[in-house]
Amino acid sequence: METETTRQPRILVFACRWCGLIGADGAGKNRIALPSNFRIIPVECAAYVEPDAIIRALASGIDGTIVMGCHVGGCRFNDANHAAIKRLELLKELLDATGVGRDRLLISFGTAHEDHQFAEVIRDYFDTVAALPPLEPWVSTLTMKHLSRS
């Protein structure tokens, strides 16, 4: 089994269907080669991304998370992303305060909407997370039970 220190970082991306996914789609159309160890969960708006979801992700063995949304002024849900940005910045403070570290969450609003931009964000973040010390798995079985119905 891979040890925590040798395996490729696991990155989870929450991408809004607009700025985020358009960039990802562009990277796909242009067949830009990227490391495979990331997953995208599409959301209608970055405002959907609960801080809770980020925390659960980090608690379940994911090393880094990215939230991709639209630039300020560009949200088609009447600036719903403004509240999202503030919330996520606050979450970064919380991650710092609890020793998890703010680098476990990358906020990318309006910086990944083109193919090459998306690729750069992903590649750079893999480097960033790889350089971080491994997260101690502090998931208890009780927490895992809450995460699924089974």
Q: CA 130, CA 150: separation in Å to the nearest integer?
A: 32
Taking the CA atoms of 42, 46, 52 and 56 in sequence, report the sign of the dihedral they define: positive
Find the DSSP H helices in 1-150.
Answer: 19-29, 51-59, 80-97, 115-130, 141-147
Q: Is 31 in the site for other proteins (CB under 8 A)?
A: yes
Among 3, 5, 6, 78, binds other proteins (CB under 8 A): 78
Nearer CB in complex with other proteins: 62/129: 62
**Among the listed residues 43, 85, 106, 107, the single contact to other proteins using CB under 8 A:** 43
Q: Round to whole Å and give the CA distance between 15 and 43.
A: 6
Using the contact rule CB under 8 A, the part of the chain among 44-52, 94-102, 123-131 near other proteins is: 44-52
Among 25, 102, 123, 128, binds other proteins (CB under 8 A): 25
Q: Considering the rule CB under 8 A, would residue 40 count as an interface residue with other proteins?
A: yes
CB of 71 to other proteins, least distance (A): 6
Distance between CA atoms of residues 24 and 94, nearest Å: 28
Q: Which of 40, 34, 41, 46 is nearest to 122 (CA)?
A: 34
36 is an interface residue for other proteins by CB under 8 A: yes
β-bridge mates for residue 106, sequence order: 66
- Shortest spacing between CB 69 and other proteins, in angstroms: 11
Count how many residues are written for the chain: 150
Residue ranges that bind other proteins, judged by CB under 8 A: 10, 12, 17-19, 21-22, 24-29, 31-37, 39-41, 43-45, 47-53, 56-57, 60-62, 71, 73-74, 76-80, 83-84, 87, 113-114, 116-117, 144, 146-149
